[in-house]
Amino acid sequence: MPRSVPHTLLISLLAYLAASLFHFTHNAEFLGNYPNMPAWISRVDVYGAWIAITAVGVVGYMLFRYEYRKIGLLVLAVYGTFGFDGLAHYSLAPTSAHTAIMNLAIWLQVATAGLFLITVAGLMAIGCKHDA
């Protein structure tokens, strides 16, 4: 039986999901413009990675919603940490080598992932008792 999901979790999840989609879409569509990206990475690889990462979030959300609150939050925490992988772009080239929109896409994903993780940690701290 599904249970309600705290609004803060749902809002932060959707914000992170949207920012992640924006970053991965920009990355896939302008892959050749991202500095020093490995030549073996293709547009399809980028979209495939987004789908795989997002699947982790969907599984976490479903676990949380369908009575497995603690394990769901743990899986959602894993999903949230993936939001910081965009910072790896800066191991390939400095911030100044990226366009403004590239930096925006990366940092928007990082910021929303951080807020999402704070929300997940807060729910973990109160023991998953908040249902609305």
Kindly state whether residue 40 falls inside one of the protein's structural domains.
yes
Mean pLDDT computed over 110-123: 97
Total of domains in the chain? 1
Mean pLDDT computed over 47-71: 96
Would you state the pLDDT for residue 55? 98
Q: CA 45, 21, 66 angle in degrees (round to 5)?
A: 100
Q: What share of the chain in percent tops pLDDT 90? A: 89
What are the residues whose beta carbons fall under 8 Å from the beta carbon of 85, sequence distance 6 or more?
Answer: none
Kindly state whether residue 2 falls inside one of the protein's structural domains.
no
Kindly state whether residue 12 falls inside one of the protein's structural domains.
yes
Q: pLDDT tens, 10-58?
A: 999 999 999 999 999 999 999 999 999 999 999 999 999 999 999 999 9
The residue type of 16 is Y
Kindly state whether residue 76 falls inside one of the protein's structural domains.
yes
Residues of the domain holding 96:
7-125
Would you state the pLDDT for residue 131? 44
